Amino acid sequence: MTPHHEIRSVLLLALPLAAVALQSTASADVFTDIRYTDLVSRLGAATPTGAGIGIGQIEAPENAGGSYAPDTALAEFSGKTISLLSGTGIAPSWHATEVAKNLYGNTLSIAKGVSSISSWNVNPWITGVYLRVGSGSAVAPATPPAGVRVFNHSWIGSFGSTTSDNDALRRLDFTVTRDNIFVAAGTNNGVGSAAQPMMAYAFNGVTVGLADGNHANALTPAGIDGPSRRKPDIVAPGQFTSFATPVVGAAAALLFDTADSDPAVSANANANRALTVKAALMAGTTHSATWSNGAPTSGASRGVTATPLDPVYGAGLVNIDRAHRIFTGGEGTAFAAPQANTFERRRGWDYIPTVVANTSAYWSFRLSGPVDEMSVVATWHRQVAINFSSWNMQDLDLRLWRMAGGQLVSISGEAGAGAFAGGNCESVSTVDNTEHLYLRNLAAGDYVLELKRKAGTQSALPVVVAWYMPDPQVLGDLDGDGSVGASDIAILLNGWGGAGPADLNGDGTVNGADLATLLSNWG
């Protein structure tokens, strides 16, 4: 290998062997944290397992001997076909083994049905064998082995050259779009640590951090394509990001399995797209009480942000039950104008092949009662030139309006105080390829979601919008105990004459009409 092709690979994790038992016994908590137990409780024997979905596992060599592959002799991998594509006869890698347990293990992974795995050492994978970084503009990356839909990168690294790093990132993003693959890539461990360019700074993959926030979260730096973007995109439980990343990869495998086998979506080719899987996972996250994407809480810009993701937790903690509900909620229908009488389900998604510059797509929702939260994600790919010398990306914004009398009414600024208690109703980043709305305590009423593409000549690539809302609260249940009673009247009277959650009809003032609504739902 020539020096300009050599990558300085750094493992995300180099734990002493004594820590193996800690990782191996953590799965019950992981399953609970990511709501896999809820998914199993809801679906039973119909729970997807990742069966039929191929996975690519790329690992940095663990030692001078070049160990890169999991221990295929373990019972955890019984029934799996693990193809060693960077050489055989090499001792197993402890790191690769632990990653594999979470990615496709028989007991420790949510994607235990995955049986076909392609395993690579990152150095040949990124240079001559697969991405082919440094091979010149005429040489495209290789294509995935048959059946591989998910790639997992639990490693970090850099060539030490922004030119080579950007070539690698562009080639990765190119393959994501060309080959319809989902890429999960970990960021570095440790708050304040340096976030290595690869593969955390990719646009088209999903960068993973830790649920406890103990990971690198600096903005994409100057010199790397798309500076000032926020990473990670999502977080997952694990001792280290090496083990959190495969949790997200496994979740993607479950949704691809669902796209293949669930009658609710299997007939729709748009469900079987990596972009749809990405949108569902990001929209379905669990947002902590402290989650924030920086939207002001008062004033003229209340609810408006140019930074779609939380600086530490991204879109939030992966929640496979919610993502599955979104996925199986089905594809919605975007309209070129707001609709006053056609409403979407509370959970779903829409794949839009093209949004023309300076136009909008709209979806309408009717809430018969207030909901605790509303999460919406729009995501799209960047377009990489076929010779990898340049790239471009369309700029889209996401906004939620209220519909009253057939007209759109802004809920941005102080006007939204009666519509939602916190979060953001506008996401207007100019650098990210994701926009995210997250609203807490959204009042009953009719709403319109707008996806607007700004003017520009960038290549128009597909966009997926995904949304999640729980079932509405009982209208008038202001204390959240599940029924309407005396304490709810007390809350309403305390807010009399003002705005807020007790404004049940959304007219901006708590008054007799709201009291009548509350009493109609008594008990």
pLDDT tens for 407-421 read 999 999 999 999 999
Residue 5 in this model has a pLDDT that exceeds 80: no
Query: Is the Cβ–Cβ distance between 126 and 214 less than 8 Å?
Result: no
Q: Which CATH architecture has domain 3-261?
A: 3-Layer(aba) Sandwich (3.40)
Residue 15 in this model has a pLDDT that exceeds 50: no
pLDDT confidence of residue 521: 87
Radius of gyration of the chain (CA): 24
pLDDT confidence of residue 504: 85
Spatial separation of the C-alpha atoms in residues 508 and 182, rounded to whole Å: 44
Collapsing DSSP to helix, strand or coil, 514 comes out as helix
pLDDT confidence of residue 28: 66
- The per-residue pLDDT for range 361-385, each reduced to its tens digit, is 999 999 988 999 999 999 999 999 9
Residue 444 in this model has a pLDDT that exceeds 50: yes
Query: Is the Cβ–Cβ distance between 469 and 373 less than 8 Å?
Result: yes
288-468: CATH topology: Jelly Rolls (2.60.120)
Query: Is the Cβ–Cβ distance between 509 and 503 less than 8 Å?
Result: yes
Q: Give the residue extent of every domain in the chain.
A: 3-261, 288-468, 486-520
pLDDT confidence of residue 27: 60
Residue 11 in this model has a pLDDT that exceeds 70: no
What mean pLDDT do residues 469-479 have?
84
Residue 33 in this model has a pLDDT that exceeds 70: yes
Spatial separation of the C-alpha atoms in residues 101 and 106, rounded to whole Å: 8
Could you tell me the CA-to-CA distances from 170 to 5, 105, 176, 226, 501 in Å, in that order? 16, 31, 10, 11, 47
Long-range contacts of 353-356 (CB under 8 A, 24+ apart): 353/462, 354/460, 354/462, 355/394, 355/396, 355/451, 355/453, 355/460, 355/463, 356/453, 356/460
Residue 3 in this model has a pLDDT that exceeds 80: no
What mean pLDDT do residues 10-14 have?
37
- The per-residue pLDDT for range 71-130, each reduced to its tens digit, is 999 999 999 999 999 999 999 999 999 999 999 999 999 999 999 999 999 999 999 999
Q: What share of the chain has pLDDT > 70, as a percent?
A: 94
- The per-residue pLDDT for range 233-250, each reduced to its tens digit, is 999 999 999 999 999 999
Looking at the whole model, is its pTM more than 0.85?
Answer: yes
Please name the residues in contact with 469: beta carbons below 8 A apart, sequence gap of 6 or more: 346, 347, 365, 367, 371, 373, 374, 375, 442
- The per-residue pLDDT for range 270-310, each reduced to its tens digit, is 999 999 999 999 999 999 999 999 999 999 999 999 999 99
Long-range contacts of 32-40 (CB under 8 A, 24+ apart): 33/211, 33/237, 33/317, 34/110, 34/236, 34/237, 34/247, 34/251, 34/317, 34/318, 34/319, 34/320, 35/286, 35/319, 35/320, 35/321, 35/322, 36/110, 36/320, 36/321, 38/321, 39/320, 39/321, 39/324
